[in-house]
Every structure is written in C-alpha cells, then in structure tokens.
Amino acid sequence: MKNIVILISGGGSNMAAIVKAAKQQDWERRYGARVAAVVSNKADAKGLVFAREQGIATEVLDHRQFASREDFDAALAQRIDPYQPAVVVLAGFMRILTPGFVQHFAGRMVNIHPSLLPAFTGLHTHQRAIDAGCKFAGCTVHGVTAELDVGPILDQAVVPVLPDDTAETLAARVLTQEHIIYPRAVAALLQQR
C-alpha cells in the first residue's frame, strides 16, 4: 500500500478535498494508495476534526515545544517515517522547512501555493496580485525543494482577478481551484509510481 501523509496547520480544506477524492475515485483499488495520516503543528487545526471523523490517524506536533527549527523538523520526520509515505502532501502547512527535512523526503513531497508560481512566492499572495494589477491569479502544485515555493511545477489553475476583488474574495475563488488541482496532481503522482 502506498501511504499518503498530509501535513496541515489550519482549516485543512485541501486535505479534505484529497481525502474525498481518494474515497470517491477509489484510490485504494486504482493506485493501491490511501491517506494514512494527517499531521498538524497545531492541536486546534480544524482539519484534524474532519480527519478523525474519517477514521484517519492524526498526529499533532507543536513546533513551539522545540528550541530550533532543526529540532522540530527532526521530530516531525520521526513522526512521519513510521507511515513510510510514498507521498508527503503539504496542505496549508505554514512552516518553513529546513534543508534536512526537505532532503529526507526528497522526490516525494509536494506543496500547493496560492499563486501562479514563479510569481508571488511567500505570503499575502492575493493582496500582492491585486496590488500589482494582475488580471489573472491562481494556484500551483509543485514538488518541494530546499528553496521556498520553488520546485518543479506539477499543476496549475488560473482564475480572473475581478475589479472589485479583495484578498478574501480572490482567495476564495482560488481555493475552489486548489480543491480541483491538488487531488488531481496527487493522483497523477500515484499513477506514476
């Protein structure tokens, strides 16, 4: 069985979209794959509730209890490793990862970013797209490399930026597309392996 481990920090709507797609498209039969665990750095991440309701194993590791980023990432890898993941999915996991962690999961970790990379790496992507006068925005699924929000682009979706958009309305429009492309990109990866 190919295990998928999903890392979240908050609402977990992308994680939920992947879990639902796995169920609806029967990823167990099609790809021999299942979402084995959802891991959060925040105990109160809303997504954990959904994951537990779905009967998925959950893990919480509070980054504030570690002296350094390296210590946290080492402990995080130790929590993930027992699942022997074929794919590690970052889904709104709001932590900058150390090179050691990225190296540990090299070639099997993906991220979704709420912009059309390589534009607007980092935070506040929607406001920055509006401020720049962009007519289009979107989201990108990419392989994770040591540099933040850089790495091979696996899938993208485009949405229009409307004249009266706020960061919130644009974020909502982009998020609906995230829920389409992230399950699609993960399924494509599973099919390749």
Residues assigned a catalytic role: 113
Write the interaction track for ligand GAR spanning residues 78-97; mark x where CB under 6 A is met and - where it is not.
Answer: -------------xx-----
Minimum Å gap between C-beta 32 and ligand GAR is 25
Count of other CB atoms within 10 angstroms of residue 30 = 12
- Cα separation, 125 vs 66, whole angstroms: 29
- Sign of the dihedral defined by the CA atoms of residues 162, 114, 122, 189, in that order: negative
Whether residue 173 is annotated as binding a ligand: the answer is no
Among 112, 134, 170, 185, binds ligand GAR (CB under 6 A): 112
Binding of ligand GAR at residue 143 (CB under 6 A)?
Answer: no
Residue 7 binding ligand GAR, by CB under 6 A:
no
Q: How far from 175 is each of 96, 137, 146, 182, 188, CA to CA, in Å?
A: 21, 11, 25, 10, 20
Pattern of binders to ligand GAR over 154-183, x per CB under 6 A?
A: ---------------------x--x-----
Establish whether 3 is an annotated binding residue.
Answer: no
DSSP strands (E only) in 1-114 = 2-8, 33-40, 57-60, 85-90, 109-113
Residue ranges for the known binding site for (6R)-10-formyltetrahydrofolate are: 69, 94-97, 111
